[in-house]
Amino acid sequence: MLNAGACATCKCAVWVPDELYHAAKRSEKVGFFCAYGHSLCFPQGETDEQKLRRERDRLVQQAARLEEEASLARVRAEKAERATKRLKKRTSAGTCPCCNRTFGNMDMNILCIKKCCIEVVSFGI
């Protein structure tokens, strides 16, 4: 006799002969009864509990992935903001953002800066 687990209805222990146990495990069509007459069988495939557990694990992984993506996006945004702030500060001080040359008056030298930037871009410096 093998223990087939507890009855789904009354929760009493169910014991079945070895041959019946193995036959019921192989096929969903083979059923048996608990001591109180409730019909039982071993379901084939995934149980509802297994499906819910798998779905829960998938959602936990998805939440972790989304949290990681949000964190990376925040870091990228902070880096871009710092770089923009740095460039604004440098250009307000009279430094060309491309070639790092300094000019006394940026407004008067804007053509020079554009020419410098174009050269830097065209030569790949």
Q: pTM score, two decimals?
A: 0.48
Q: Is 36 helix (H, G, I), strand (E, B) or coil?
A: coil
Distance CA 98, CA 113 (A): 8
Distance CA 39, CA 14 (A): 11
pLDDT digits (tens, 9 = 90+) for 8-34: 788 888 888 888 888 888 887 888 888
User: How much is the pLDDT for 67?
Assistant: 98
Q: Which two tokens stand for residue 32?
A: 């048996």
Distance CA 102, CA 86 (A): 15
Measure CA of the first residue to CA of the last residue in the chain; give whole Å. Answer: 83
